[in-house]
Amino acid sequence: MSTTDTKINTSVGQADFFSLSEQKRYARHFALPGFGQEGQARLKSGSALVIGAGGLGCPALLYLAAAGVGRIGIVDGDRVEESNLQRQVLFTTGDLGKPKAEAAKCRIEALNPHIQVEAFDRVLNSENALDLIRDYDVIVDGSDNFPTRYLVNDACVILEKNLVYGAISAFEGQVAVFNWLMETGERSPNYRDLFPEPPEPGAVQNCEEGGVLGVLPGIIGSMQANEALKILSGYEAPLHSRLFIMDAATLRTMTLKFKKQYFDPIEKLIDYEGFCGVPLPGSDKITQMAPETFKSLMNAEAACFLVDVREPEEHDQGNLGGINIPLGVIREQAHLIPSDQPVVVYCQSGRRSRHAILQLQGMGFKNLLNLSGGMDGQL
């Protein structure tokens, strides 16, 4: 449900919408000029999805829950590690080894029993992003890598969702709001307008490589929560078309303005690891088949079993033969793949097929070959 569709009738009095416990809990919001009971009612009727329960996601989740956002989703496929505890303030030593999404859910439910919390213990990817993001009003991106940032941005553009962005490295933090519906009826610039192309792999260090001041994600994550609360409550216009930058070492700040660029419309999700040039862990264990070898085998009608892991509509538009098992359901339909003959797995570029092979190898398959370059390599 969109906050623009949520018109709360507060004229009947707060007892008709808020319990006595909620009235006590949110009393300081009720007393806040320009916010009051109506703003709180909008928070209660609103929803936010936080991508990543890490350094940024932890403080954002704490403040969104404490403020009374009615429904909060948490997406994170990682487990709590000891190195997280320096900055990921939702977790304790007793949470080590637990799924972050589930541990975060327990913590914020204990903080505010009046809200609904949904935990998704999974990695966000092109197969599940649209389904996960679709049902939330505001998306808070607390991810720590470029493929996920581009993925979240594109999904929000496609679904017309407000996106609150944050990023940290060493002593520097950034905050912005993308894809905000402006008074003109147009959407504000998105992440691609600010960063049209990802940096070269290795050009920007992540927190594990370059370190991060423990308090910095607390500051930036809280600022993300601030922007999300403004969007949901309708209190003030958020930080759209501007990038806030903070240096925690000097406490210097700056705000940069940026404009919408004119690109081809974003209409579908792509292979974001490939787009960002990120190598897949374990790829060195995958046997590659060169396009020339594949062509010669096909011309000789060799007994190779083919599996296309693209989406059905892609397969229908053109394929190299074989059966179609989309990457998102490769585990569930693995029984359709033989284990007693060579199996060539392919997609459009060779990236999704590598993801599929890694999953299948984890299930015991040892007869898989990846078609290098995929469909594109056959042109």
Q: Which residues form the catalytic set?
A: 207, 347
CA distance 327 to 283: 16
Cα–Cα nearest to 143, from 83, 191, 185: 191
DSSP per-residue codes, 165-229: EEEEEBTEEEEEEES-B-TTSPBPP-HHHH-SSPPPTTSS--HHHH-B-TTHHHHHHHHHHHHHH
* 162-178 burial: b if 16+ Cβ within 10 Å, else e: bbbbbbbbeebbbbbbb
Cα–Cα nearest to 52, from 170, 172, 132, 159: 132
CA distance 207 to 217: 11
Cα–Cα nearest to 258, from 243, 246, 238, 237: 243
Q: Which residues pair with 248 in a beta bridge?
A: none
CA distance 176 to 78: 25
CA distance 169 to 211: 7
CA-based end-to-end distance of the chain:
44
DSSP per-residue codes, 219-263: HHHHHHHHHHHHHHHT-S--SBTEEEEEETTTTEEEEEE------
CA distance 128 to 105: 20
Q: Is the dihedral of CA 7, 12, 16, 20 positive or negative?
A: positive
